[in-house]
Amino acid sequence: MMAKQFPPISTSDIPLLDADRYEARLSRKPRVNPADRTRYRTIWISDIHLGTRGCNADMLIDFLDHVDSDALYLVGDIIDGWRLKKKFYWPDGHNDIIWRILKRAKRDTRIVYIPGNHDEMFRQFTGLNFGGVEIRRHAIHETADGRRLLVMHGDEFDTVMLAHRWLAFVGDAAYTTLMRLNWLVNKFRQRMGLPYWSLSKVAKHKVKNAVEFIGRFEELVAKAAGNRGVDGVVCGHIHTAEMREIKGIEYYNDGDWVEGCTALVECDDGTMEILHWADEIKAREARRGQPMNLKTVKGNLEQAA
């Protein structure tokens, strides 16, 4: 049986996906030296958590202003519906991110949005195409060298999420507190002219149970991909960027834009790479002879406004 085909829907039909709505409220318009832009075949990003203070909007705006691609996969938790239900928080920088993504769709970049657990309200639109943004529950991506990769958010394999949903919300509250501390620490570091540093990332890798959970999660996801007959899997969800082989299956996690500020990219020859954006900024500023810190990034963005 052929899959049902849904007609494209204009983004103006859904205000949240209307680029013009955001363009009028832009605080930071892109103005980047073309020599500083890098093009990739494919980019995967996830766990942005728009609508929370933990979202590193300045870093992500800088990333989007310095990379291009033929395809962009948004691998879930782009908007944090859980937090927005409790308290509305939506600064101008979050508008800027939505606008940049929607503008790519208008420039014929293929945009595939796979909602996660925090933006699960968009899963009801699975199969639809909103102004160039394809909404899928999962996707199969074929690399330039012929490998087939299953793309999914990954919350399907979080046993806490599946068995005890209320515990997930309790855990989310604790995690939000940690993100708040992370934000405060980096505000202080910014004033001191120091580079970005993830308190939460360090804490997670120091806790034995967290390390064991991450390892188990990666094994479960790789096993499921193997059962689907694909060569590998790309996911997000656990805020831990990684690329490794697990029992013959290539496992990729694109990380997040709360703690690590990372993205997974595919080059024209099919080579895969994880970009740690704080390191990329540091290298770029070193070429210019300018020290890198969060204040520098924010200042550069404001100058481009």
The tens digit of pLDDT for each residue in 233-285 reads 999 998 899 999 999 999 999 999 998 899 999 999 999 999 999 999 999 88
The whole-number pLDDT of residue 198 equals 63
pLDDT (0 to 100) of residue 305: 46
**SS3 helix, strand, coil % of the chain, rounded to 5?**
45, 20, 35
pLDDT at residue number 300: 56
Q: So what's the pLDDT on residue 35?
A: 77
Q: How far apart are CA 213 and CA 44, in angstroms?
A: 23
pLDDT for position 291: 60
SS3 101: helix
Intervals of the chain under pLDDT 50: 1-7, 9-14, 160-167, 169-171, 207-208, 304-305
3-class DSSP state of 134: strand
Task: Select from 148, 136, 141 the least CA-distant residue to 112.
Answer: 136
Residue with tokens 């909404």: 135
Tokens encoding 80: 């944090």
Contact status, residue 26 vs residue 151, Cβ threshold 8 Å:
no
* pLDDT score for 25: 62
Nearest CA to 215 out of 230, 200, 205 is that of 205
